[in-house]
Chain A
Amino acid sequence: MKRILFFLTMVLSVAACDPVNEEPQLYPDGKGMFILNEGNFMAGNGSVSFYSFETGMIYNNLFSTRNGRALGDIPMFMTARNDKGYIVVNNSGTIEIVDIKTMESLGTVTGLVSPRQIVISDNKGYVSSLLSDEISVINLSDFTVDHTIDIGATTEAMILSGNSLFAASWSGGNRISVIDTGTDELSGTITTGLEPESMAIDKNGYLWVLCTGGYLNEEIPRLMKISTTTLTTENEFSFRTVSDNPSSLTINNTGDTLYYLDEGIRVMPVNATALPTEALTVAGGGLLYKLAAAPWQGMICVTDAIDYQQKGDLLICNRSGEIIDTEQAGIIPGFMYFVTD
């Protein structure tokens, strides 16, 4: 009997130490950011990378390495809540829910029409659509589409201010729809310039909207400052010509400085009276695609899609715009999402 107990004890001890069930860590903890690499259109080779500000290294192909399958076609937006990451995969029509510590897939939301971005409010995920006039509302408990909100226009960028969800109609559109997240009903609209592409909310609660002027350069792009309470335009800044292509408006974590791409990185305090005339870093031969302001030391992160056909680069810049690190990411590196620990 003692021998049997000894044997069982040994077996259980070995089993307890067995590392088989522990997946190797694909990327370190701590300050970092996920980069969504969109991949080639229709090739289904989108991927997720992680850049660690602790190690100064990039870790690529996280989703496929962890889950043994491709992420999908055009992952283009990510957010997280309670250690769950929500990755919107546009051309696959899915949202992948992952454990942001391990990148393990926890579920897939299907039944979406060309999803673009997701904003979380309480236990609901609001999903914009490039092709549908409806915003889908996801139940984050069971990862299903609970209901939809018909706003009569397709949507792209979304941002939350209190109980108001601002959804921009980018593709051929010129308006922002305001949805009351308490009732999930349309509570108002704001007319903007053509194709509002990206938005940010500053420390004073103003909504900043970057309008590109249209796919075929129909009008001069403009940056609009809108009151989130009265829904009226407080100020408006026009760019130089119709052929300008500003994009990727974002704001720092203190809400006092705007950043966007326009032949390089442009920096603009929210109390500025004019658009910046000089770029911080000139694009040069690269094709700067997306921009994000890191919540540390004023660092600015930019992706270079190069030619949209090969792996692109991630550029880490200091507050002066000097490139302090360059890392090779996946194909068409785009959206960036920061994690702090």
Chain B
Amino acid sequence: MRVRSSVHIRISMLALSGLRVLFFLFSVIISLPGYSQPSFRDDTIRISAVTVTAPYLAGQVPFSERKIDSVALDRFSGVDLASLLAAYTNLNIKRYGNSGLASVSFRGLSGSHTAVLWNGININDANTGQVDLAIIPVISAGGISITPGGSDLRDVTGSLGGKIELVSENFLDRGSEINLFMSQGSFSNYSSSLTIKTGSNRIAGNFSLWGNTAINDYYYINLNSPSGPEKEKRTNASAKGWGATADISLPLGGSALSGHLWINSTDRQLPGPVTTLQQDYGETQSDNAIRAVLNYRFRPGILRGSITAGGVLSDNKYNNEAYNSRGDNRTAMMTIRMKLATYAGKKTELSLNTGDELQYASSLSFTDKVTRNIFAATATGLYKISGNLTLMSQLRQSVVDDIVMTPEATAGGTFFLGRAGDNRVKFTVSRNVKLPSLNDMYWQPGGNPELRHETSWGGETGWSGKFMLNDSLSLHAELNAYVSRVTDLIQWVPLNATIWTAENVRNARVQGLEALYTLECQMSKGKLVLAGDYSLTISKGYSGDSGDRTNGKQLIYTPLHNASSQIQVYHGLFRGGVSANWESRRFIVADNSEWIKGQLTMDADAGLDISLSRYLLSVDLKILNILNARLESTKNFPMPLRSYALNIRINYNNLKNSKER
């Protein structure tokens, strides 16, 4: 049995009694559908931990949720999720070169503070506590939504920065569609995919298969070459991968059953840093994962709910020839969640989400196999005070193995400023926790089983509005301000001259602003879309040592300013666009004495769509880094200079909705 300091755990009687109430409430609620759904009752009996949740009063929750539109998903269907988010959002992407490891962070925190979900289950790796976005192809998701901040407690613990949700597309009663996609790009980069979607009113299914390969010997500028700045070619950076998804949906009267499967495999060379000379350690990594989810939605009487069961098996193999170092990290995660919601009167919606996640991990760097069980229950109340004002409160309690964690809570509200359009002010105050990753706790040497969970207090307020300015012009705009205090940040620090260990050594004070807009202008033969966003992120670290020269300094790899902008024009058969992203300097040293200069990235694309009966041929030319600028988001891991990609898509569709066609 693992020993953990009692100092780290705050068990309040209130929390315990609250948990008992939640269990009781859950037991009562779960018994109701059990009469009419025997198979569902059987499931709940077999699996001890369950979840209940509910759909909210539509549009009343005070969170900022942003969806990546289908146009963006199509444009980036041949690349990874990190590239899409870098181009379309102001999220902070840190990647080690063109196909190297990539992480995303929100609001001044790190990649491990970003939760990534797929069809309702957590897919953050239990060992590292984060996801490598470079090995998640955009095509694996039918939809992507982004929620900055940690105030949404419905599904997951630990999203102190924010969360990204990938969902599969539901094709029920929509007809059929087949997509064949082929892409050829610079550095011998090839990718292709086949997607088949079909859906009647009785059954729907999607199937996607994709593969990609890239030699990836690209040009970059080496500023520190012994002979002065030189254009050099990156080597040892090849990548290849393949994957498949399959989805099925079955409506069952008032209920629905869906299943999702995702297989992903990637092999990469990991080139070393470009310092004076390009380094080659003979580093390679392969990642294989199988993810599966079964979801059952039901609606007996005044109840609405769902049960989600899923699992993730992943295997990460690493090899460094130069240092004769190998890694074999395996994780298995099994999740079951239940969501139940009901109305209490006309103005109140109550919901309960409960879930259990069992993590199992092994690694060559662990002394033993590790398991961790995370049970969590969230109770949510939405109260419609008036026609304009809705308040929300959430309470989440997690139990990790036999340890009751500090409760999490969110309180907030949404106030509609006008009855016309979607013009609202929202605000939340929340308290969140994040568990240490298994590597933080058990990696040898240096893992620390005594680590406390990180804790965050924060608040945010924002305004958003959607307006039809005239018959052809629409505007969506949003402005958010937030502040948070994170205590007990986990950091690896030197124990002595050779061994580092994980400790709760830092606190962070984060505050910032986020603004975005989308302006859409319908024209006689097409439309013009302008979009932009900006973020100001002040994220400062502090330690308990008053003499620490890093106190009050911006956390490393967190740009103070980040702005992106896109313009897209559609005219008849033709379309084209330009996107730009600018970020201010990234500090790379804790005392802010060194940094990567601010940089501007610009991409462009142009294409045409030729429609013939039920067939559509789309051809796109993409130019990445059109300014041919030296770009890097991680010091000494440069991105390519200007590069190109030609995409061809052949679409056959027999869709019911003419607009979709």
Q: A310-B549, A310-B593, A311-B549 are in contact. Are A92 and B277 (CB under 8 A)?
A: yes
A91 contact from B279, B445, B545, Cβ within 8 A: B279
The digit string for A13-31, where 1 denotes a CB below 8 A from any CB of B, is 0000000000000000000
Which of B226, B276, B322, B323 has the most CB atoms of chain A within a 10 A radius of its CB? B276
B276 contact from A94, A131, A289, A305, Cβ within 8 A: A94
Q: Is the CB of A44 within 8 A of B275?
A: yes
Q: How long is the Cα–Cα vector from A72 to B222 in the complex, in angstroms?
A: 12
Question: Which residues from 214 to 273 on chain A have a C-beta closer than 8 Å to any C-beta of chain B?
Answer: 215-216, 245, 247
| B interface majority secondary structure | loop
Q: A131-B323, A215-B498, A310-B593 are in contact. Are A89 and B545 (CB under 8 A)?
A: no
Q: Is the CB of A310 within 8 A of B275?
A: no
Q: Is the CB of B276 within 8 A of A89?
A: yes
The digit string for B270-301, where 1 denotes a CB below 8 A from any CB of A, is 00111111010000000000000000000000
Residues of A near B594 (CB, < 8 A) are 43, 45, 331
Which of B223, B224, B229 has the most CB atoms of chain A within a 10 A radius of its CB? B224
A309 at the interface (CB under 8 A from B): yes
B493 at the interface (CB under 8 A from A): yes
A337 at the interface (CB under 8 A from B): no
Chain B, residue nearest A247 (CB): B497
B550 contact from A69, A71, A285, A310, Cβ within 8 A: A310
Q: How long is the Cα–Cα vector from A114 to B226 in the complex, in angstroms?
A: 17
Residues of B near A72 (CB, < 8 A) are 224, 275-276
Q: How far is the CB of A129 from chain B (nearest CB, A)?
A: 11
Q: How long is the Cα–Cα vector from A96 to B560 in the complex, in angstroms?
A: 36
Q: How far is the CB of B638 from chain A (nearest CB, A)?
A: 11
Q: Is the CB of B494 within 8 A of A308?
A: yes
Cβ contacts A to B, 13 pairs, < 8 Å: A44-B224, A44-B635, A69-B228, A70-B224, A72-B275, A89-B275, A92-B275, A93-B276, A105-B226, A216-B445, A308-B493, A311-B549, A311-B589
Question: Which residues from 496 to 537 on chain B have a C-beta closer than 8 Å to any C-beta of chain A?
Answer: 496-499
A307 at the interface (CB under 8 A from B): yes
Q: How long is the Cα–Cα vector from A40 to B584 in the complex, in angstroms?
A: 21
Residues of B near A105 (CB, < 8 A) are 226
B604 at the interface (CB under 8 A from A): no
Residues of A near B591 (CB, < 8 A) are 309-311
Q: Is the CB of A43 within 8 A of B277?
A: no
Identify the B interface with A (CB < 8 A).
223-226, 228-229, 272-277, 279, 322-323, 445, 493-494, 496-499, 545, 549-550, 588-591, 593-594, 635-636
A73 at the interface (CB under 8 A from B): yes
Chain B, residue nearest A172 (CB): B324
Q: How long is the Cα–Cα vector from A154 to B537 in the complex, in angstroms?
A: 46
Q: Is the CB of A42 within 8 A of B228?
A: no
The digit string for A64-98, where 1 denotes a CB below 8 A from any CB of B, is 00001111110000000000000001011110100
A331 contact from B225, B229, B272, B589, Cβ within 8 A: B589
Q: A72-B224, A305-B494 are in contact. Are A92 and B636 (CB under 8 A)?
A: no
Residues of A near B272 (CB, < 8 A) are 42
Chain B, residue nearest A331 (CB): B589
Q: A110-B277, A114-B322, A307-B493 are in contact. Are A44 and B226 (CB under 8 A)?
A: no
Q: How long is the Cα–Cα vector from A289 to B225 in the complex, in angstroms?
A: 29
A309 contact from B228, B273, B276, B550, Cβ within 8 A: B550
Q: How long is the Cα–Cα vector from A22 to B588 in the complex, in angstroms?
A: 34
Residues of A near B279 (CB, < 8 A) are 73, 91-93
Q: How long is the Cα–Cα vector from A113 to B594 in the complex, in angstroms?
A: 27
Q: How far is the CB of B232 from chain A (nearest CB, A)?
A: 13
A108 at the interface (CB under 8 A from B): yes
A108 contact from B229, B276, B323, B589, Cβ within 8 A: B276
Q: A73-B273, A245-B498 are in contact. Are A110 and B226 (CB under 8 A)?
A: yes
Q: How long is the Cα–Cα vector from A43 to B590 in the complex, in angstroms?
A: 13
Q: How far is the CB of A150 from chain B (nearest CB, A)?
A: 17
Residues of B near A68 (CB, < 8 A) are 228
B588 contact from A40, A93, A131, A215, Cβ within 8 A: A40
Which of A45, A110, A131 has the most CB atoms of chain B within a 10 A radius of its CB? A45
> Using a Cβ–Cβ cut-off of 8 Å, how many residues does chain A contribute to the interface with B?
39
Q: A94-B226, A331-B589 are in contact. Are A42 and B497 (CB under 8 A)?
A: no
Q: How long is the Cα–Cα vector from A72 to B273 in the complex, in angstroms?
A: 11
12 more CB-based (< 8 A) A-B contacts, given A92-B279, A215-B498: A42-B635, A43-B589, A44-B274, A70-B223, A89-B275, A91-B275, A92-B277, A93-B276, A287-B494, A287-B496, A307-B550, A331-B589
A44 contact from B273, B498, B550, B589, Cβ within 8 A: B273
Lowest 10 CB-CB distances: which A-B pairs, in order? A44-B275, A310-B591, A73-B275, A92-B276, A108-B226, A72-B276, A309-B590, A42-B273, A70-B224, A92-B275
Q: How far is the CB of B321 from chain A (nearest CB, A)?
A: 9
Q: How far is the CB of B39 from chain A (nearest CB, A)?
A: 53
Question: Which residues from 157 to 213 on chain A have a C-beta closer than 8 Å to any C-beta of chain B?
Answer: 212
Q: Is the CB of B589 within 8 A of A309?
A: yes
Q: How far is the CB of A58 from chain B (nearest CB, A)?
A: 14
Q: Is the CB of B636 within 8 A of A44?
A: yes
Identify the A interface with B (CB < 8 A).
40, 42-45, 68-73, 89, 91-94, 96, 105, 108, 110, 113-114, 131, 212, 215-216, 245, 247, 285, 287, 289, 305-311, 331
Q: Is the CB of B226 within 8 A of A45?
A: no
Q: How long is the Cα–Cα vector from A89 to B224 in the complex, in angstroms?
A: 13
Residues of B near A96 (CB, < 8 A) are 226
Q: How long is the Cα–Cα vector from A105 to B494 in the complex, in angstroms?
A: 33
Chain B, residue nearest A44 (CB): B275
Q: Is the CB of A70 within 8 A of B276?
A: yes
Q: How far is the CB of A90 from chain B (nearest CB, A)?
A: 10
Q: How far is the CB of B417 from chain A (nearest CB, A)?
A: 46
Residues of B near A216 (CB, < 8 A) are 445
Residues of B near A306 (CB, < 8 A) are 549
Q: How far is the CB of B100 from chain A (nearest CB, A)?
A: 12
Q: Is the CB of B588 within 8 A of A43?
A: yes
Q: How long is the Cα–Cα vector from A91 to B276 in the complex, in angstroms?
A: 9
Chain A, residue nearest B636 (CB): A44
Q: A44-B276, A73-B273, A309-B550 are in contact. Are A245 and B496 (CB under 8 A)?
A: yes
A307 contact from B276, B277, B322, B590, Cβ within 8 A: B590
Residues of A near B277 (CB, < 8 A) are 92-94, 110
Q: How long is the Cα–Cα vector from A212 to B497 in the complex, in angstroms?
A: 11
Q: A45-B594, A92-B277 are in contact. Are A131 and B494 (CB under 8 A)?
A: no
Residues of B near A287 (CB, < 8 A) are 494, 496-497
Q: Is the CB of B275 within 8 A of A70?
A: yes
Q: How long is the Cα–Cα vector from A230 to B279 in the complex, in angstroms?
A: 41
Residues of A near B590 (CB, < 8 A) are 307, 309-310
Q: How far is the CB of A320 from chain B (nearest CB, A)?
A: 24
Chain B, residue nearest A246 (CB): B497
Chain B, residue nearest A114 (CB): B322
Q: How long is the Cα–Cα vector from A45 to B593 in the complex, in angstroms?
A: 11
Q: How far is the CB of B74 from chain A (nearest CB, A)?
A: 36
Chain A, residue nearest B494 (CB): A308
Q: A43-B636, A93-B277 are in contact. Are A69 and B588 (CB under 8 A)?
A: no
Q: How far is the CB of A5 from chain B (nearest CB, A)?
A: 41
Q: How far is the CB of B57 from chain A (nearest CB, A)?
A: 47
Residues of A near B549 (CB, < 8 A) are 306, 310-311
Residues of A near B274 (CB, < 8 A) are 44
Q: How far is the CB of A133 from chain B (nearest CB, A)?
A: 12
Q: How far is the CB of B274 from chain A (nearest CB, A)?
A: 8
Chain B, residue nearest A93 (CB): B277
Q: Is the CB of A69 within 8 A of B275?
A: no
Q: Is the CB of B226 within 8 A of A310?
A: no
Q: A91-B275, A289-B497 are in contact. Are A311 and B588 (CB under 8 A)?
A: no
Q: How long is the Cα–Cα vector from A269 to B525 in the complex, in angstroms?
A: 91
Q: How long is the Cα–Cα vector from A73 to B224 in the complex, in angstroms?
A: 11
Residues of B near A108 (CB, < 8 A) are 226, 276
Q: How far is the CB of B506 from chain A (nearest CB, A)?
A: 10
Q: How long is the Cα–Cα vector from A306 to B588 in the complex, in angstroms?
A: 16
Q: How long is the Cα–Cα vector from A215 to B593 in the complex, in angstroms?
A: 31
